Amino acid sequence: MGNKIIYEKGYVTRIHLKTATNNREELIKFCLYNKNNKENQCLAIGWSYISEGLNSEMDSYDTYYLKTKASVHENGRKLNSALNIFKDAKEDDLFWTRDLNGVYWICRVKEAAKVYLNKELDIGAILPIEAYAFGLEVPGQIKASFNRSRGGIVERLKDLTIIEYSKDVFNKLSKENLYDVNLNIANNMIDNLPAFELEELVISYIQIVEGYYLLSNSIANKSTTVKIECQFISRDINNVKKAVVQVKAKQATELDALGFKAYEDTGYNIYLYAPKIRNLDKMKNVIRISPQELQDFYTEYKAILPESITQFENLFNIGFSEKQ
């Protein structure tokens, strides 16, 4: 192949293969498991009743889109964002999807969306793709997007590291170096870990190095305005301590340690990881975790850390141990 593809979208897309059919297993097989003809892999959306009145050879996706939009609005409903995603999709855009076995698939768009009718599977339009099964372990931001209870059929994932990660995964699985992967974002792996993985690394540090148990029912819902990520309790029954943590990535605004005074007043230790923290000197129970401490922790304990974190080292061909 000639020049590498310069990825122009500011996102990759997560999509659930889910229509109004009662046989989702067959829908996923139809889309991904075309064993006899890999050329026929696709992503699919529903509203097949719209395509019944269209000619798949003559009518464009735009016709299907406009008819679906009119029908939805007539019934007083909002247009599903999946319809817009398909409308905006261009050749070489990247998608993530997941099958019923929990296996994640990376998909490259091969051509624009088109009208397609399959009433049994409730398919009204398809997006032709080239797709590869990746495995059960992906970065937390991708996994969380699939697991959100009200996440919808599609979601745009705009994190720069996730975009570069997705391009790299496709390059490796397709065995073709199609996409230009920007390794320059990895001047420091910690700085470029997606937020979910950074939080997981800091939480692992507190449990392993500081000797705490994570209270799993305390993990903050991302839709809330809670100031902390989660709570901990110490493993030493002779010296029981409580703790909370807040994690902010390099790009975040400055944290004010005094914002956690209520936790200190009720006996908590407060662990903070952030690029800038003010008023540290005015708090007694705040422990700041430095990038170097986190770096050293990763180097020592990498063998037992989740692959969702360590795989970024492979993506950037660089490890903490090599960073000074």
Q: What digits encode the pLDDT tens for the residues 254-288?
A: 899 999 999 999 999 999 999 899 999 999 999 99
Helix axes of 61-74 and 81-88: crossing angle, nearest 10 degrees: 160
Q: Which pLDDT score is estimated for 187?
A: 42
Is residue 109 a contact partner of residue 90, using CB atoms and an 8 Å limit?
yes
Of the CA atoms within 13 Å of residue 29, those in its CB half-sphere come to 7
Q: Give every CB contact of residue 242 below 8 A, 6+ residues apart in sequence.
A: 231, 232, 233, 234, 267, 268, 269
Q: Is 221 exposed, middle or buried (0-12, 13-18, 19+ CB in 10 A)?
A: exposed
Least confident of 37-41, 199-203, 255-259: 37-41
Instruction: Kindly give the pairing relationship between strand 94-98 and strand 104-109.
Output: antiparallel
Is residue 218 a contact partner of residue 231, using CB atoms and an 8 Å limit?
yes
Q: What is the pLDDT of residues 44-63, one digit of tens each?
A: 999 999 999 898 888 999 99
- The owner of tokens 């997981």 is 200
Domains, the chain: 12-181 (no CATH), 189-317 (3.40.1350.10)
Of the CA atoms within 13 Å of residue 323, those in its CB half-sphere come to 20
Q: Which pLDDT score is estimated for 310?
A: 84
Q: Which pLDDT score is estimated for 189?
A: 67
Nearest to 92 by CA among 119, 106, 110: 110
Q: What is the pLDDT of residues 157-190, one digit of tens each?
A: 998 888 988 998 999 999 998 999 876 654 456 7
The pTM of the full predicted model, rounded to 2 decimals, is 0.73
Instruction: Note the residue count of the chain.
Output: 324
- The owner of tokens 């889309």 is 31
